[in-house]
Amino acid sequence: MFTFGLMEIELSQAEENYLKAIYSLFVVANKAVSTNKIAEKLETKASSVTDMVKKLSDKNLVNYVKYQGVSLTTEGKEFAIHVIRKHRLWEVFLVRHLGFKWDEVHEVAEQLEHVKSRKLTDGLDAFLDFPRYDPHGDPIPDKEGNFIKRNITVLSALKINEESKIVGVKDSSSAFLKYLDNAEIKLGAEIKVLHKESFDNSMMLLIEGQKISISQQISSNLYVKQND
């Protein structure tokens, strides 16, 4: 339950990007994040990360012990989630109102997420009618920083005959998203696993009545929600 309380301090774009990176790496690893991983994610050098992490630590936004990785403090997490909120709201706006495709929004949202104005963010949220998911199926934090934690699985983990709905993408690279567009695989599509090929782990699916085969590369990057 975050309240985005003590956010008088203004962070630089670089600082915001670091917090966001640390947040998302922590979510998957579930333990303190290494400087190397952060460097890789932000396409920078580990030495730069060490410097920045020290600065964020001085500002009480991360917990950092030399050689032992980085994690976010409560306040750091609030900031990270707030930036993610802005990023995803802008993505919704771009797709819904400006004719962007879901593979075109990332770079622009990466810039827009750093614009500082409470009124802007909350106004945009209201204008969009408080969307709960972004174009890639990722949940959008509300103004208090709360967001839905869904019970999702990766498609490749489903067993034969299980039915589910596509709700998100793990990889949101332009290449993967374009592949999905081409194959007419959309979020919201109902699917059923017809067959799993043990040789290459490819899957035969029934998507909205259509029978198609997808490689493991694909199935392991699609999130599904199992029908109850």
Q: Least separation, in Å, of the C-beta of 18 and a copy of itself?
A: 19
- Binding residue (CB under 8 A) for a copy of itself from 12, 36, 47, 111: 111
Contacts with Mn ion by CB under 5 A: the residue count is: 6
- Rounded to whole angstroms, the Cα distance separating 14 from 56 reads 11
- Binding residue (CB under 5 A) for Mn ion from 77, 82, 86, 136: 136
Q: Would you count residue 117 as binding a copy of itself (CB under 8 A)?
A: yes
Q: Which of residues 44-103 bind a copy of itself (CB under 8 A)?
A: 94, 97-100
Listed ranges 66-74, 101-109, 172-180, 212-220: which one lies at the site for DNA (CB under 7 A): 66-74
Contact 70, 35 (CB under 8 A): yes
Listed ranges 45-53, 97-105, 166-174, 181-189: which one lies at the site for DNA (CB under 7 A): 45-53
Q: Would you count residue 9 as binding a copy of itself (CB under 8 A)?
A: no
Q: Least separation, in Å, of the C-beta of 43 and a copy of itself?
A: 17
Q: Would you count residue 107 as binding a copy of itself (CB under 8 A)?
A: yes
Q: Tell me the three-class secondary structure of the chain, residue by residue.
A: CCCCCCCCCCCCHHHHHHHHHHHHHHHHHCCCECHHHHHHHCCCCHHHHHHHHHHHHHCCCEEECCCCCEEECHHHHHHHHHHHHHHHHHHHHHHHHCCCCCCCCHHHHHHHCCCCCHHHHHHHHHHCCCCCECCCCCECCCCCCCCCCCCCEEHHHCCCCCEEEEEEECCCCHHHHHHHHHCCCCCCCEEEEEEECCCCCCEEEEECCEEEEECHHHHCCEEEEECC
Residue whose CB is less far from Mn ion, 108 or 212: 108
Q: Least separation, in Å, of the C-beta of 6 and DNA?
A: 19
Contacts with a copy of itself by CB under 8 A: the residue count is: 19
Sheet holding 163-169, edge to edge: 153-154, 222-226, 163-169, 190-196, 203-207, 210-214
Q: Least separation, in Å, of the C-beta of 137 and Mn ion?
A: 8
Q: Would you count residue 52 as binding DNA (CB under 7 A)?
A: yes
Instruction: Give me the residues that bind Mn ion (CB under 5 A), please.
Output: 17, 91, 110, 134, 136, 138
Tell me which residues touch a copy of itself (CB under 8 A).
94, 97-100, 104, 107-108, 111-112, 115-117, 119-120, 123-124, 126-127
Which residues contribute to the site for DNA (CB under 7 A)?
Answer: 12-15, 34-37, 44-55, 64, 66-67, 69
